[in-house]
C-alpha cells in the first residue's frame, strides 16, 4: 500500500535588495504618507507589512532597528535558537520600575534562578488543586446572572479572574484585598505603554497626577504583599497557595537558598499582572465567539452537560473534569488563535549577531506577532473563521497536515514561556464549561457583529463583551 507523501511546510520567504544589510520593509516615508504606523494601529500595520514584505521584514522606528518575523520557523529561531542573544523587550525592561525583578522583567542569570524557584508553585498537582477554586468561583459569578438580561461579560470575566488570582496566590477571599489589587494592576498597566519612552524613569518620578497614582498604588500593593509575607513567615504553614510555595522554595540545584521578601514580592506582583488580564481577555473573546456560533455553542453545551451533570445532580467543575472537556479546550485554543491575549512577543538584541545572512545590530527590537502568524492562510485553512475542531485530536479540520508547531504560540516558547500556562488552560476550560452547562449566550440586541480591538499591553475588547443570557432548562 502506498501513502501519499506529506507536503512540506512552506519555507520562509524573505525579500531583500541585492547586497542589502537588512531585509526589505516599509520605509518611514511610505508609512507616514499612508498613515500606516505601528503606534497608530499596530494590528493592521503588522499584518499589512507581512503581506507586502514577507516573512522577515525590517524598518526603523524611534531610532531603532525593528525586525518582524512572520513565519513559524523564524518564530522558533527567535524564541529558542537565538534566545541567548536577546534581552527582554524594552517595555518589560522598563517595567522593572513597577514589577521589580520578577520573572517577566528580569534577565539571566537572575531570571533562571527565579524560574527554578517559582516552577514548583505552578506544578501540575498544584494546578489540579486550584481546579476546585476555579469551579466554585465560576459558579459564584454566574449565580448573579438573570435569564433574559444583557451583561458585559468582559467585566464579569475580569472580576472572576481577579477573585481566582486573589485566592490561588494569597488564599484571600476578601473583596477589599481584591479591590486594592485591581487598582494597582490598572495603574501599572497604564504605565507600561509609557515605558517605551526614552525618559520613562524620569517620568515615573515626576509629580504628575497619573504618576502619583501609580506610585501610590505601588506603595499600597507593597504594603499588602509584605504584610502577607510577614504573616506567612511567622506561622510557617503551607496554606496551599502560590505565596506559600514561593516562600518555601529552596534552590537545591545551585544552592542559592530561598527567595528574599523582595523577590517574593516581585514574583507576586508579576503573577498578578501577567495572569489576570490575559486570562480574562482570553475568556471574554471565547465567550463572544461562542455567542456568534450557535453550532459550536450547542456542541460545547452538550459536552459540558455530560461532564458536569445537570438538574439535581449538577455540580461545580473541578480539575478531574478537565479530560472530559476536549471541545471546551478546543474553543479556548481557537479563541486564543484568533484573538491572542498576548498579540506580539518582543525581544531586544543584547549583542550583534548574524541571522539568515543579515546583521542584527545590538539594541534592535525583534517582534514575533501571534496576531499575524495565527492568521496565516499557509498554516490555517480559512484563517479568520472560528473553527474549534482544528484543535481536536485527531485533527478533524481541514488545516494543512503539515502545520508547524510554532504556527501557534499564545504562551510563547523557550526559557521565557508562560509559567502560568497550565493554570490558564485550567481556568479557560473549566469556566467555559461551567457557563455553557447552564447558559445560552447570544449577541446583545443591536450590537455590532464585529469586535473592535484595543491592542495595549494585552489585546482587549474595546467595547466590552455585551451578551444576552438565557438560562438553559435543566
Ligand atoms: C490566557 C492566559 C495567558 C496568556 C495568553 C499568557 C501569555 C504569556 C506569554 C506570551 C508570556 C511570554 C511573554 C514573553 O516571552 O515576552 C507569558 C509569560 C508569563 N506569564 Fe503568562 N499568560 C497567561 C496566563 C498566565 C497566568 C494565569 C499566570 C500566573 C498566575 C502567568 C504568569 C506568567 C509569568 C510569570 C510569565 C513570565 C515567565 C518568564 O519570563 O519566565 N500567565 N505569559
- Is the per-residue pLDDT at 329 higher than 90? yes
Contact present, 302 and 440 (Cβ < 8 Å): no
What would the pLDDT profile of 212-248 be if each residue is shown by its tens digit? 888 888 888 888 899 989 988 888 788 888 898 889 8
Q: What's the grid cell of residue 424?
A: 490558564
Rounded CA separation 246/397 (Å) = 42
Cβ contact 300:325 at 8 Å? no
Q: Which domains does the chain have, with CATH numbers?
A: 28-471 (1.10.630.10)
Who lines ligand 1 at CB under 6 A? 103-104, 115, 270-271, 274-275, 278-279, 282, 341-342, 345, 410-412, 416, 418-420, 423-424
For 132, 230, 300, 313, 423, the CA distances from 282, given in Å and listed in that order, are 20, 34, 17, 29, 13
pTM of the full predicted structure?
Answer: 0.94
Best of 86, 119, 278 to mutate for ligand 1, by most ligand atoms within 8 A of CB? 278
DSSP 314-337: -----GGGGGG-HHHHHHHHHHHH
The mean pLDDT of 58-64, rounded to a whole number, is 88
Banded model confidence at residue 2, pLDDT cuts 50, 70, 90: very low
| Average pLDDT score over residue span 194-217 | 80
Distance 273 CA to ligand 1 centre (A): 9
**Closest residue by Cα to residue 206 from 90, 97, 99:** 97
C-alpha 7 – ligand 1 centre gap (Å): 34
Phi, psi angle pair for 168, to nearest 5°? -75, -30
Contact 33, 45 (CB under 8 A): no
Specify the 3-state DSSP secondary structure of 92: helix
How many angstroms separate the alpha carbon of residue 71 from the centre of ligand 1? 22
Confidence of residue 251 (pLDDT cuts 50, 70, 90): confident
Q: How confident is the model at residue 206 (pLDDT cuts 50, 70, 90)?
A: confident
In this prediction, residue 63 has a pLDDT band, given cuts at 50, 70 and 90, of: confident
Q: Which three cell numbers mark 210?
A: 497619573
- C-beta separation of 421 from 103 below 8 A: no
User: DSSP of 429-450, one letter per residue?
Assistant: HHHHHHHHHHEEEEEPTT--SS
DSSP class per residue in 372-428? HHTT-TTTSSSTTS--GGGGSSS--S-S-TT--GGG--TT--GGGS-TTHHHHHHHH
Amino acid at each position: 500500500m502506498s501513502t501519499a507523501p506529506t507536503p512540506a511546510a512552506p519555507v520562509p520567504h524573505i525579500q531583500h535588495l541585492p547586497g542589502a544589510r537588512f531585509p526589505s520593509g516599509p520605509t518611514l516615508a511610505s508609512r507616514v504618507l499612508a498613515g500606516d504606523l505601528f503606534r497608530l494601529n499596530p494590528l493592521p500595520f503588522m499584518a499589512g507589512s507581512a503581506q507586502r514584505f514577507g516573512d522577515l521584514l525590517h524598518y526603523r522606528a524611534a531610532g531603532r532597528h525593528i525586525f518582524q518575523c512572520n513565519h513559524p520557523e523564524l518564530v522558533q529561531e527567535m524564541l529558542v535558537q537565538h534566545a541567548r542573544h536577546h534581552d527582554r523587550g524594552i517595555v518589560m525592561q522598563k517595567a522593572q520600575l513597577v514589577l521589580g525583578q520578577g520573572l517577566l522583567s528580569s534577565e539571566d542569570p537572575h531570571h533562571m534562578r527565579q524560574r527554578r524557584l517559582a516552577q514548583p508553585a505552578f506544578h501540575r498537582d498544584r494546578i489540579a488543586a486550584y481546579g476546585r477554586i476555579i469551579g466554585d468561583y465560576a459558579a459564584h459569578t454566574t449565580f448573579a446572572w438573570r435569564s433574559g438580561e444583557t451583561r458585559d461579560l468582559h467585566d464579569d470575566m475580569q472580576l472572576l479572574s481577579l477573585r481566582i488570582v486573589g485566592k490561588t496566590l494569597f488564599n484571600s477571599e476578601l473583596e477589599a484585598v481584591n479591590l486594592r489589587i485591581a487598582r494597582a494592576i490598572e495603574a501599572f498597566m497604564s504605565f507600561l505603554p509609557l515605558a517605551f519612552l526614552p525618559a520613562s524613569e524620569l517620568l515615573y518620578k515626576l509629580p504628575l497626577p497619573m504618576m502619583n497614582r501609580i506610585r501610590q498604588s505601588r506603595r499600597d500593593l507593597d504594603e499588602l504583599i509584605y504584610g502577607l509575607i510577614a504573616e506567612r513567615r511567622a506561622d510557617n504553614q503551607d496554606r496551599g497557595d502560590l505565596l506559600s510555595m514561593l516562600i518555601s522554595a529552596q534552590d537545591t540545584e545551585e544552592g542559592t537558598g530561598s527567595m528574599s521578601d523582595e523577590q517574593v514580592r516581585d514574583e507576586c506582583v508579576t503573577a498578578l499582572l501577567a495572569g489576570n488580564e490575559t486570562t480574562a481577555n482570553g475568556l471574554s473573546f471565547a465567550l463572544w465567539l461562542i455567542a456568534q456560533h450557535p453550532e459550536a455553542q450547542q456542541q460545547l453545551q452538550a459536552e459540558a452537560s455530560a461532564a458536569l451533570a445537570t438538574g439535581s445532580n449538577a455540580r461545580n467543575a473541578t480539575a478531574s473534569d478537565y479530560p472530559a472537556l476536549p471541545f471546551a479546550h478546543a474553543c479556548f485554543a481557537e479563541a486564543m488563535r484568533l484573538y491572542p491575549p498576548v498579540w506580539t512577543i518582543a525581544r531586544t538584541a543584547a549583542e550583534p549577531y548574524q541571522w539568515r545572512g543579515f546583521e542584527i545590530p545590538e539594541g534592535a527590537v525583534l517582534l514575533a506577532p501571534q496576531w499575524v502568524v495565527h492568521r496565516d492562510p499557509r498554516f490555517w485553512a480559512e484563517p479568520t473563521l472560528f473553527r474549534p475542531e482544528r484543535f481536536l485530536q485527531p485533527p478533524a479540520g481541514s488545516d494543512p497536515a503539515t502545520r508547524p508547531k510554532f504556527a501557534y504560540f499564545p504562551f510563547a516558547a523557550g526559557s521565557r514561556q508562560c509559567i502560568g500556562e497550565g493554570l490558564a488552560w485550567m481556568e479557560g476550560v473549566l469556566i467555559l464549561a461551567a457557563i455553557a452547562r447552564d447558559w445560552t449566550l447570544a449577541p446583545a440586541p443591536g450590537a455590532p457583529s464585529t469586535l473592535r480591538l484595543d491592542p495595549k499591553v494585552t489585546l482587549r475588547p474595546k467595547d466590552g463583551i455585551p451578551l444576552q443570557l438565557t438560562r438553559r432548562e435543566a
